[in-house]
Amino acid sequence: MMALKEYYIGIDIGGTKCAVSAGTDQMEILHSVYFATHTVNGPDYAITKILEGITELQKKFKERNLKAIGISCGGPLNSKTGTINSPPNLPGWDNIPIVDIIKEKTNTSTFIQNDANACALAEWKFGAGKGSNNMVFLTFGTGLGAGLILDGKLYTGTNDNAGEVGHIRLNNDGPIGHNKAGSFEGFCSGSGITKLAQLKAEEALNKGGKLSYCESYDELQGITTLQLANLANAGDKDALELFNISAKKLGIGLSVIIDILNPERIVIGSVYARNPQLFNGLTSEMIEKEALEGAWNVCKIVPAELGDKVGDIASLSVAIDGYSHLTFM
């Protein structure tokens, strides 16, 4: 009798939308179900929709053998107890035992990681980190967090706080990130670059001047990272100044990571991945100035490769990685 083909299910829980995807261990996405999280309805609504999505996929692929389920979600969470612990983008999700809920309903091994760790697994197995043994993944999205692959496995720390690099202070003052002015996240994230732009624009307006991307106080709140990146890529000097500041701070922050962890690859997502040309020169200059030569010489800094597909691939990677570490009695 022929063995059934195997598959995995990945669940990507976001503040705006969720995805439930079926895929193989070679990352062939078989089918995905998407729906709005509707956080105002609390966790019960989204969990019901997740379970409906799993049931839909199980029916669709009943000729296949479901091996494991993986969940990717913004932290804080506890990967060991399988609970989601009040992430800022999921109001009401307080100590939700999501792994137990799904395991009980599906009778399938279920695993969870925060989104930075899940993306690190995805880029390591299927993207820009493929073939490396020591890799750091930096989100560089709305916020800044890291996922760490050390000696060929995900490192999460004592209680899932490993990789919270956005909290490192790089300056005594500056844009706020991680509730700390002058933090790594404050200078090197989409929200941080926007805050930096607002600070610079307000400073200019207070002196009776203006900057290209903000000509009045009314425009301060409308500044976006995308707008700034487009202007910088077109050579606008005011926007370029912001990215030059971010690029230098990125170099300083990466130097700390390089000196402590000695990775062979650092993979950076989102804002950096879409605009590496705005960072590379100054970032490399700072690394050569700040990091140990023996460590930066063996480290490549590359943009993430998985792009918009990363959410689906990340949650599936959590399932695949979790299953690979199961010990059978």
Tell me the pLDDT tens digit for each residue of 261-314.
Answer: 999 999 999 999 999 999 999 999 999 999 999 999 999 999 999 988 888 999
Q: Which residues contact 272 (CB under 8 A, 6 or more apart)?
A: 138, 140, 250, 279, 303
Using CA atoms, how far apart are residues 9 and 132, in angstroms rounded to an integer? 25
Q: Does 170 score more than 90 pLDDT?
A: yes
Q: For CATH 3.30.420.40, list the domain ranges present in the chain.
A: 5-113, 128-305
Q: How far is CA 85 from CA 13, 113, 124, 146, in A?
A: 13, 12, 26, 19
Confidence of residue 326 (pLDDT cuts 50, 70, 90): confident
Q: Which residue has the tokens 């925060």?
A: 114
Over range 144-155, report the average pLDDT: 96
Q: Is the per-residue pLDDT at 167 higher than 70?
A: yes
CA distance 245 to 134: 28
DSSP state, 14?
-
Residue 221, classified by CB atoms within 10 Å of its CB into exposed (0-12), middle (13-18) or buried (19+), is: exposed
Cβ atoms of 305 and 123 closer than 8 Å: yes
Instruction: Report pLDDT for 250.
Output: 98
Confidence of residue 15 (pLDDT cuts 50, 70, 90): confident
| Residue 301 main-chain phi, psi, to 5 deg | -110, 120
Phi, psi of 18 (to 5 degrees): -125, 155
The yes-or-no verdict on residue 192 having pLDDT over 80 is: yes
Convert the pLDDT of each residue in 72-130 to its tens digit.
998 899 999 999 999 888 999 999 999 999 999 999 999 999 999 999 999 999 999 99
Alpha carbon distance 265, 267 (integer Å): 6
Average pLDDT across the chain, whole number: 94
What is the structure's pLDDT at 309? 84
List the Cα angle 307/312/316 in 5-degree steps.
Answer: 125
Please state whether beta strands 5-13 and 64-73 pair in parallel, antiparallel, or not at all (unpaired): parallel
Contact 295, 287 (CB under 8 A): no
Indicate the SS3 state at residue 247: helix
- 24 burial (CB, 10 Å; 0-12 / 13-18 / 19+) is middle
* 272 burial type by CB count under 10 A (0-12 exposed, 13-18 middle, 19+ buried): buried
Q: What share of the chain is helix, strand, coil (3-state, %, to 5)?
A: 45, 20, 35
Q: What topology does CATH give the domain 5-113?
A: Nucleotidyltransferase; domain 5 (3.30.420)
One-letter amino acid at 57 equals: L
SS3 156: coil
CA-to-CA distance for 76 and 14, rounded, in angstroms? 13
Distance CA 329, CA 188 (A): 46
What is the Cα–Cα distance from 11 to 113, expressed in whole angstroms? Answer: 11
pLDDT score recorded for residue 252: 98
Pick the CATH number of 128-305 from 3.90.1300.10, 3.10.180.10, 3.30.420.40, 3.40.50.360: 3.30.420.40
Question: Helix (H, G, I), strand (E, B), or coil: what is residue 41?
Answer: helix
Please tell me the predicted confidence (pLDDT) of residue 329: 38
Question: In the numeric block, which tokens belong to residue 178?
Answer: 């991680």
pLDDT mean over 164-191: 91
pLDDT tens digits for range 212-239: 999 999 999 999 999 999 999 999 999 9
Span 16-23, average pLDDT: 94
